[in-house]
A and B are shown apart, each in its own frame.
Chain A
Amino acid sequence: MIKKLLISPLGWLFGILLSFGICIGALFLGSIDWQTLMHSEIGSKILWDIRVPRVLLAFVIGAGLSLAGVLIQSNVRNPLADPSLIGVSAGAALGAALMIVLADFVHIQAHYYIPIAAFIGGILATVAVLKLGRNDLPGGMALLILAGIAINVVAASLIGLLTYLATDSALRHITFWSLGSLASANYFWLSLCSIALLIVCLWLPKQHRKLDAILLGQAEANTMGVDVKRLQQQSIVLVALLAALAVSACGIIGFIGLVTPHIGRMLVGASHRYLLPLSFFLGGSLLVIADSIARTIIAPAELPIGIVTALLGAPVFIWLLLREGRRLQW
């Protein structure tokens, strides 16, 4: 009953939060009369070309990363896993860094190509992890995690090499890109990320009990009629899609995928019937809040959003680790 009561007002909260996110910023739109706003060119430009796509993109990406977090944690049955585990973020960062350095070298505008390079990098890294991980073998999920770690290390060292070779301006670009920002939000990325999120949301309703079964163990799930291998493969492809699009659209945003599923579990338990919708709204809302903080706290300048999510998320994560430690000790 408590679970249902928690889920039902989410729609209202969602509406309030989005309106709040749209209003605040370097220019506070809430104090401006609606008629005046719509008739002023600048006001309507700020509203429709900047705030609306940005806040909606923040919500869509937050929701997507959070669902990706739930999927990866449930599939590897490890509460400390997050989407970067399958190498997608590191691969995307490598793709972006490579594009920034190359563009600087041949003097072209990298702006449009970075997201494409990041997306390709993210997908290639995931494919490499899947090939190395041999998820088709029994106990293959452990191999998958190790393969993810290996690819993360390779990508990090190559990024290190690129930053060593980069000029000062390219280095600055790589650093800011990897900290994440929603400043370049537009309707193109919004529609692309929304389509990916929609695909996942259409796929999920039939999977929630199967995901519950996987939590009990692979053998249990198998003997309860779940084609575990297939479910894991589908989940990983969707996690890679969500994470690769998120990283391409706005750089690396840490902790949302790791922490929001835990907050959700603390509120409604691990049953995916409740956890998935709650994580969707929680992830989206948290990123809208984090982005609102990022663009107002030092307005008119902006903090990279990765810094805000890490500053908010890291203490929660440490607390989770301590709690997990106490539970194991007990």
Chain B
Amino acid sequence: MVMSLEGISLTRNGKQVLNNISGEIKAGKIIGLLGPNGAGKSTLIQSMARLLEYEGSIKINGQGLDDFSALQLAQRLAYLPQHSQLQFPLEVEEVLSLATLPFSLTRLQQRQQVKQLIKDWGIQTLADKDFRQLSGGEQQRCQIARTYLQLSNMVLEGKGQGIWLLDEPASSLDLEHQQQLQKVCRQAAAEGHCVVIVLHDLNQAFRLADDIWLLDKGQIRAQGKTSEVMTEQLISDVFNVSARRIDDSGESLFIFN
């Protein structure tokens, strides 16, 4: 599974939000999208999910995004939006079971998958609650779990075939669940899926992403291996802060003055 972007540009109200972005996302890799506010990270990930109209081309395994029906795309791509607001009383279990919607599964298979997911993610106590009554962090965990269930159905001959797009999934998570997210992303990549994740925390990017696309004002400032892209000078320059990078026995960390 490969997703390739070529010359992606997007203009909104006369303002160029994305400018000529190209790149390739390979199977088994975790790509981190980094950049200051307004850099275009969410716009880019929404374009990848075909939620916005853009110029240029995005292809999955050589086939343009527009060639897929909504259903075909949902069988290849799972997307977690930054915010979602539910106005109606759906139970957590009902929200989770929607992840099986794009796949031809029997009711029994759907139920089994959801039960297993609830067990694996340790959210048994939330399962029959009204989704709206959960805290922000709990809602985020459930939404990540939902998209993970969708992704885990995208398997062919034991190999992951999906693309997992996560827009700031860690913004409301506590430390324990940030680590859980990290583990799940690694697992998804190890199974052969592509993972694209919008991040704000630079140190989390070190731990999580194989490659970084560093965005600034709608353009790619740097693209490549995480440790190579995240240099003191570039981070200080793009984020307009004074950053110091500490490397110690293979681990890296930024501290800010």
Chain A residues with CB under 8 Å of chain B are 74, 77-79, 138, 209-210, 212-213, 215-217, 219-220, 222-228, 265, 269-271, 327
A224 close to B87 (CB less than 8 A): no
Contact partners of A220 in chain B: CB under 8 A: 79, 81, 84, 98
Residue of B nearest to A265 (CB): B89
Which residues of B sit under 8 angstroms from A223, Cβ to Cβ? Answer: 49, 51, 73-74, 77-79
Q: Give the chain A neighbours of B69 by CB distance below 8 A.
A: 227
Assess whether B98 is in contact with A212, with CB atoms less than 8 Å apart: yes
Is B234 interfacial (CB 8 A cutoff)? no
| A164-B256 Cα distance, complex, nearest whole Å | 73
Is B101's CB under 8 angstroms from A210's CB?
yes
Chain B residues in contact with chain A, CB under 8 A? 46, 49-52, 69-75, 77-79, 81, 84-91, 94-95, 98-99, 101-102, 130, 132, 150
Most B CB within 10 A of own CB, among A74, A138, A216: A216
A225→B74 contact, CB < 8 A: yes
Q: How far is the CA of A234 from the CA of B78 in the complex (A)?
A: 25
- Residue contact A225 to B98, C-beta cutoff 8 Å: no
Instruction: Choose among A138, A219, A224, A269 the residue that contacts B101 (Cβ–Cβ < 8 A).
Output: A224
CA distance A210 to B98 in the complex (A): 9
Inter-chain contacts of A138 with B (CB < 8 A): 51-52
Docked pose: A227 CA to B102 CA in angstroms: 11
Among A79, A210, A269, point to the contact of B87 (Cβ < 8 A): A79
Whether the Cβ atoms of B85 and A217 lie closer than 8 Å is yes
Which chain A positions have C-beta within 8 A of B71? 225, 227
Tell whether A270 pairs with B90 under 8 Å between CB atoms, given A209-B98, A223-B51, A224-B150: yes
8 contacts between A and B (CB under 8 A): A138-B51, A212-B94, A215-B87, A215-B88, A223-B77, A224-B74, A225-B74, A327-B132
* In contact, A213 and B81 (Cβ under 8 angstroms): no
Chain A residue nearest to B147 (CB atoms) is A223
Residues of A within 8 A of B90 (CB): 212, 215-216, 269-271
Residue from B46, B69, B95, B99 with most neighbouring chain A CB atoms (10 Å): B95
Contacts known (A138-B52, A212-B90); A224 close to B98, Cβ less than 8 A: yes
Q: Are A213 and B88 in contact (CB under 8 A)?
A: no
Taking A223-B73, A224-B74, A224-B101 as known contacts, 11 extra A-B pairs with beta carbons closer than 8 A to each other, sorted by chain A number, are: A77-B87, A138-B51, A215-B86, A215-B90, A217-B84, A219-B49, A223-B51, A224-B98, A265-B88, A269-B91, A269-B94
For the complex of A and B, 9 pairs with smallest distance between CB atoms:
A225-B74, A225-B102, A270-B88, A223-B79, A225-B71, A227-B70, A217-B84, A224-B101, A270-B89
B46 to chain A, nearest CB (A): 7
